[in-house]
Amino acid sequence: MRYRAIGTDPENRRDVSVLSLGAMLFGSVTDEATSFAILDRFVEAGGNFIDTSDNYAFWVDGGQGGQSEELLGRWRRSRGVGDEIVIATKLGARPLAPGTGYVDNPEGLSAKVIRESAERSRERLGVEKIDLLYAHIEDRSVEVRETVEGFGELVAEGIVGLLGASNHAIWRVERARSIAAAAGVAGYEVLQYQHSYLRPRFDLPSDLFEDGSLGHAGAELFTYLRAEPSLTLLAYSPLLAGAYTREDKPLPPDYDHPGVPARLAVLREVAKETGASMNQVVLAWQMGADVPIIPLAGASSLAQLEENLAAVDLELTTDQRTRLDSTH
């Protein structure tokens, strides 16, 4: 396994594996025995960076979520896991009542919610300190300053280590970070957006975002990352739910456009040259990018996890990377 540092504060800075394990469906769609086996193998391989949220997976049973955090808490206790494993979680998108969702009834990002939801996540995970806590989605009903100060207080009190933002407009990320810097409190240092090798359309409507593009990593985000090298991108859904390799998994609608065939063709070429799968090439391409990217990949079986782990040791040549990058 290889590692990279996230965070700038020496007290909370962490060295994390270059591949993060997504635990979204652990404890719900993925049963406990399989989830534990995947977690054990990930750690055995040197992985130490696991991602979840307080609302995973509310849509499975029509509840409010929490199954994934609860499973991770049981796994930690059963294995005697300590702070050597970095667990990231999110708040802000948990439904306030069963049968509702994050679009019509989210918990939001008020200072009160931030404190109360973080405490509940700590209890479910069984940790004294949350290593990395994200603002999961925007809450434009709350002043940015209140959200910033709410998160900053948790870091100052030692309840949270690092802060991140997911699925936010970049101007709001920058505004929040500027407010935090001016106030002398911790700000967002890790950003989580959907990012894969294929490029999405940014003009399709979204059930989650008023602007359908907010969940995707686009040109504006990468410009921002290059200007702010202390930031790290966690790239979720890097493998497009299996669409690169499984005929029964079509590409999502926002990846249906004329630019897709050419990039798929070069991806297949590089996979053939390396003897790796297309999934592994995508992960290796992200890990070797010119900005700090950590792919966040879930797994529902040990076989899927092993395929992902093998990508850590896949080194693309300069020519291969140039062809992948320059194909439009």
Judge whether 150 and 108 are in contact, CB under 8 Å.
no
**How many angstroms separate the first and last alpha carbons of the chain?**
32
Residue with tokens 């975002």: 209
Residue with the two structure tokens 């009903």:
141
Torsion angle of C-alpha atoms 273, 275, 281, 284, degrees rounded to 10: -100
Q: What are phi and psi of 237, to 5 degrees?
A: 50, 45
State the Cα–Cα distance between residues 143 and 152, nearest whole angstrom. 14
Q: Which two tokens stand for residue 307?
A: 């395929």
Give the active site residue among 56, 188, 236, 255.
56
Give the pair of three-digit tokens for residue 224. Answer: 């921002």
User: Catalytic: 56?
Assistant: yes
Q: Cα–Cα distance between 199 and 108 in angstroms, integer? A: 30
Q: Cα–Cα distance between 210 and 208 in angstroms, integer?
A: 7
Question: Cα-atom radius of gyration of the chain, to the nearest Å?
Answer: 19
| DSSP for 183-219, written as a single string | HTS--EEEEEEE--SSPPPS-S--SS-SSTTTTB--H
β-sheet bridge partners, residue 297: 21
Alpha-carbon distance 84 to 154, whole Å? Answer: 21
**CB count, 10 Å around CB of 277?**
18
Tokens of residue 293, six digits: 């990217």
The Cα–Cα gap between 325 and 288 comes to: 12
CA angle (199, 167, 91) in 5-degree steps:
145
The three-class DSSP label of residue 178 is: helix
Catalytic residues: 56
